[in-house]
Structure 1
Amino acid sequence: MTPTTMTQLPIPSHFDPRTVGEVWRVPYQQRAIEAESWSKRMGLKPAAKDKTRICLMAIDVQNTFCIPDFELFVGGRSGKGAIEDNVRLCEFIYRNLGVLTEIAPTMDTHTAMQIFHPMFWVNDAGEHPTPAATMITAEDVKKGVWKVNPAVAYSLGRGNYMALQNHALHYVEKLSAEGKYPLIVWPYHSMLGGIGHALVSAVEEAMFFHNIARHSQTGFEIKGGNPLTENYSVLRPEVMDGADGRPIAQKNTRFIQKLLDFDYVLIAGQAKSHCVAWTIDDLLTEIQAQDPSLTRKVYLLEDCTSPVVIPGVIDFTDQAEAAFQRFAAAGMHIVKSTDPLDSWPNLEIKG
């Protein structure tokens, strides 16, 4: 087989798995020169010539989730989850460079004043909720345990505090009615313009290398900027309407259709229990509405994702595993990145 079919490629010498848990500058020009040379030596063709089109969606592989001591490091039960996942993800990209048509990283993108950040809420003492340890329920809002911080009304509600308070109650009631997680107050994270927002350096380097070697623009997808709703899934926010019934957000219809137009969609990233699970769930909903047989084109890289685990506080491992089993029962494939693609079920690449 040629490199453009199933053959796994060697990993370029610049990749050092020991640096995957660190932040550093990618030497773009040097890597671009190396990638062009690599492409010629390996006989790679431009992605535009792929007869079988494969998209790798890498969900929120950002410093904020993947680097120890950053805001929301996803350690899983091992304590090293995201680092180990990203070593495998980088190796997967390099080994399968010749068949990955496009890589689409999603980017969780936030500002300080958002409904899931501490400053949005206060209690009667004027205190903000403790991040990562506070869930706000409809009962909490009704009883006034937590209220919208009046100080944010200037920036978020055009000075209309009551409208924001009404939205807050509507929001948590909607989450409960739709069977979603309660509103969790998270630490400030994925802050737009900050280091935490950036892709993990080693992953960014691998994606850039793919971009140059295959002449395939990396397809960044931004999510999470709406201050009045969470946005675990890149395909739709948690709540799409306000207390008055008017829309405040909408599904990412363009990206949904883009994914479904590929022959195969591979999914990795963080966190398995939240943004990954929610994105897959929304994709499954769209597939079932269009053509349930399309679930067979989706592959979940189970060794490139980990659940949220905060020792002594909360552990979402069981919920993540249950979600993945539900996706498999619906027809999606759970696979390992370390296995050759020709061992994956129902995946055929035309040479």
Structure 2
Amino acid sequence: MSSPTTQQLPLPSFFNTTKVSEVWRVPYQERFVEAQNWAKSHNIPAAATDKTRICLLLIDVQNTFCHPDFELFVAGKSGRGAIEDNIRLCEFIYRNLGTITQITATMDTHTSMQIFHPRFWLNQEGEHPQPNATNISLEDVEKGVWKVNPAVADNLSSWNYQDLEKYALHYTKQLSNSGKFPLTIWPYHGMLGGIGHALVSAVEEALFFHSIARDSQTRYEMKGSNPLTENYSVLQPEVLEDDRGKKIAEKNTALIEYLLEFDAVIIAGQAKSHCVAWTISDLLNEIQTRDANLTQNIYLLADCTSPVVVPGVVDYTPQADEAFKRFAEAGMHLVKSTEAMENWLK
């Protein structure tokens, strides 16, 4: 693949780094006019003319993960991880506007009664598990430490309570057997219809600006709405079948095929230890079953993603770093957003 020759662009005057940590309405009509003028003044061509096609895949850059006042702020080691990541991410998009062909944004999408939310479970005292502090293991389910909340069965038309109990045992066993994280009870987050579900305003603005300037519609991928499985990776949920072998979910084959058609895929987002790592891992598995050389087309923006760190509770930094080391050893590139793309695209 030949390297793009498009030079880095200046940042538009409306971009304000201090607003990246805030929630606000994007002035679409103003940005529409500005993006058209920006494309003309900087000779930015339509994306359809790109000889080297580059996709920027953004994982869950939503308020729920990226705003300090929201449910699952990814603080990283610095305490401002997602904010700092998104400042660099916005600058990367604007400076490389003429080179990025397509942007795809994934969105964690949840409702209240899902297997990783407190409402789904009860202990013998009738209490729900505490979020951020509870992992439900296979042993917990076997011993009845945690049981399915009967009210959940009332809201799943095709399931009765007894079958859900069997499924809970199956689910935790599947996670244990596959070596994945144990079932984690998370705070309610990424709630469909809520402010937390929305993209970070500054990132949404950058995506809109790119779509107009390059005549390239942003692609949005919802994930995580299945009540019976976690869905860290946008490419597939944690569990695909129930205890009877019946399919409950599927791989996102359409997105896999879409991504692998590009000459390069650049990946950033939150959180490095969970949804980002899981997505990249699934993409690596797909590549290795087809053509291992395709790993050379994957670029990881190492300075635009942070791990889950909850002080005094958990720190997933080592797991995140180990995953990225594995990806690099497999042939993927660890790069920085502050470096010129033409220096690292091969």
After TM superposition, the score normalised by the length of structure 1 is 0.97
Name the counterpart of 1:60: 60
Give the whole-Å Cα distance in 2 for the aligned partners of 1:128 and 1:19: 37
CA distance in 1, matches of 2:214, 2:86: 21
Q: 2 CA distance for matches of 1:115 and 1:251? A: 19
In the TM superposition, 1:1-351 aligns within 5 A as 5-158=5-158, 160-344=160-344, 347-348=345-346
CA contact (8 A) 2:232 2:278 kept: yes
Task: Measure, in 2, the Cα distance between the counterparts of 1:123 and 1:320.
Answer: 32
Secondary structure of 2:105's partner? strand
**Using a 3 Å threshold, how does the CA distance of structure 1 residues 19 and 163 change in structure 2: closer, same or farther?**
same
In 1, Cα distance between the equivalents of 2:254 and 2:112? 28
SS of the counterpart of 1:220? strand
Distance 2:81 2:39 in 1: 31
| Secondary structure in structure 2 of the residue aligned to 1:105 | strand
Q: Distance in 2 between matches of 1:6 and 1:35?
A: 17
Deviations 1:17-39 (A, max 9, x none): 00101100000000000000000
Larger mean Cα displacement after TM superposition, 208-217 or 157-166: 157-166
- Describe the SS at the equivalent of 1:65: helix
SS at match of 1:145: coil
Distance 1:53 1:236 in 2: 25
Is the CA contact (8 Å cut-off) linking 1:230 and 1:239 kept in structure 2? yes
The Cα of 1:162 is off from its aligned counterpart by: 0.6
Contact 2:5 2:342 in 1 (8 A): no
CA distance in 2, matches of 1:5, 1:209: 21
Figure out how many residues of one structure are paired with residues of the other and give that number: 343
Quote how far apart the aligned CAs of 1:148 are.
Answer: 0.2
Look up the equivalent residue of 2:189 and give its one-letter code: H
Q: CA deviation at 1:158?
A: 4.1
Question: How far apart in 1 are the matches of 2:289 and 2:211?
Answer: 33
Q: How big is the shift at 1:6?
A: 3.2
Contact 1:54–1:264 at 8 Å: present in 2 too?
yes
1:282 aligned partner, one-letter code: D
Q: Which letter does structure 1 place at the counterpart of 2:162?
A: M
Q: Tell me which amino acid in the other structure corresponds to 2:234.
A: V
Q: Is the partner of 2:103 in helix, strand or coil?
A: strand
Q: What is the CA-CA distance between 1:328 and the residue it aligns to? A: 0.1
CA contact (8 A) 1:157 1:163 kept: no
CA displacement 1:155-175 (0-9 Å, x = unmatched) = 125461011111111000000
Instruction: Look up the equivalent residue of 2:114 and give its one-letter code.
Output: Q
Is contact 1:300-1:332 (8 Å) kept? yes
Residue pair 2:57, 2:103 contacting (<8 A) in 1 also: yes
Render the CA deviation track for 1:18-62: whole Å, top value 9, x for unaligned.
Answer: 010110000000000000000000001100000000000000000
Q: What SS does the corresponding residue of 2:155 show, helix, strand or coil? A: helix
SS at match of 2:268: strand
For the 8 Å contact 1:153–1:161, the answer to whether it is kept is: yes
**How far does residue 180 in structure 1 lie from its aligned partner after superposition?**
0.3
How much does 1:343 deviate? 1.6
Question: 1:169 is matched by which residue type in structure 2?
Answer: L
Determine the C-alpha separation between the residues in 2 that align with 1:5 and 1:249.
Answer: 42
SS at match of 1:265: strand
Q: Deviation at 1:342? A: 1.7
What CA deviation, in whole Å up to 9, does each residue of 1:113-160 have, x standing for no partner?
Answer: 000000000001110000010000000000000000011111125461
Q: Secondary structure at the match of 1:78?
A: coil
CA displacement, residues 85-114 of structure 1 (integer Å, 9 cap, x when unaligned): 000000000000001000000000000000
C-alpha separation in 2, matches of 1:133 and 1:205: 35
- Structure 2 residue runs of 5 or longer lacking an equivalent are none
- Distance in 2, matches of 1:331 and 1:321, equals 16
Q: Please report how far the alpha carbon of residue 10 of structure 1 lies from its aligned counterpart in structure 2 after TM superposition.
A: 0.3
Distance, in Å, in 1 between the alignment partners of 2:47 and 2:223 is 26
TM-score, normalised on structure 2?
A: 0.98
